[in-house]
Amino acid sequence: MQRSKRAGVLLLLAMGAECFAPIGASADNLNQKFGPTWTCTKLGAVEYSLYRACKICEDNCQDFFGDSDKAGHCLPKAGAAIACPQAAAAPPPPQTTPIAAPSGQPASPSAAADPGYFEFKVCNRSGRTASVAVEHHVSPSDKNFVVQGWWTVPAGDCQAIGNFPQGWFYYYAAEYGTDAFEWSGNDAKVCIERIGQVERMHTKTTICTGKYLRGFHSAQVDYPSVTWNLDP
């Protein structure tokens, strides 16, 4: 494997192995099943869409019912209208939050206007097509992590990957379609598949095979934009 020089903005963060693998949510009222202290963060390494659906219920003082490993719905919580008046109204439908644009698409305008986010751009100065993956906070107020990939950046192109919450941010790239060349780092080990689109929640407990364990760079970002140059 070949490695690029680390960008000047990188800050070293020693972390243990962190893995990402989906788990199935049973068709249960999870709040009733696990008790009143259960929260959405205990879902573990689930698809991000399931976590967002759960958080919408939680933020509106609702219980969460897991329908599958990617979807769920809200249930009224007894007495919640007194403790949480907004729970009396139906919660808004699940929506994709403006953390990052889909692969190859422009960054979300709403996130770009939010000072809690920064724009992440990748300039591929090598002669290889690159695949880029990142790990970032769910939102400026939610410090749980999401891992996402893959964005394709052709040789010679500069591409705005998306707008992400400021704070600790992790990033990695490898040559498209092969593991023979990568722009990896030593700041964190992240488990991520190289096939298909990836978007799932962070966990430290799932066992990961070395085949999927990648070395990510890290930076603590508190400025409006970051450009990562992929050198030959």
Task: Dump pLDDT digits (tens) for 44-77.
Answer: 666 666 777 787 777 778 888 777 776 777 878 7
Dihedral (C-alpha) 28, 85, 137, 149: value to the nearest 10 degrees?
Answer: 50
CA distance 194 to 24: 21
pLDDT at 116: 94
Higher pLDDT, 57 or 96: 57
Q: Mean of the pLDDT values across residues 189-204?
A: 82
| Whether the predicted model's global pTM rises above the 0.85 cut | no
Dihedral (C-alpha) 112, 132, 165, 61: value to the nearest 10 degrees?
Answer: 110
Task: Dump pLDDT digits (tens) for 16-26.
Answer: 333 333 334 44
Buried b (16+ CB within 10 A) or exposed e, 194-205: beeebbbbbbee
Higher pLDDT, 231 or 71: 231
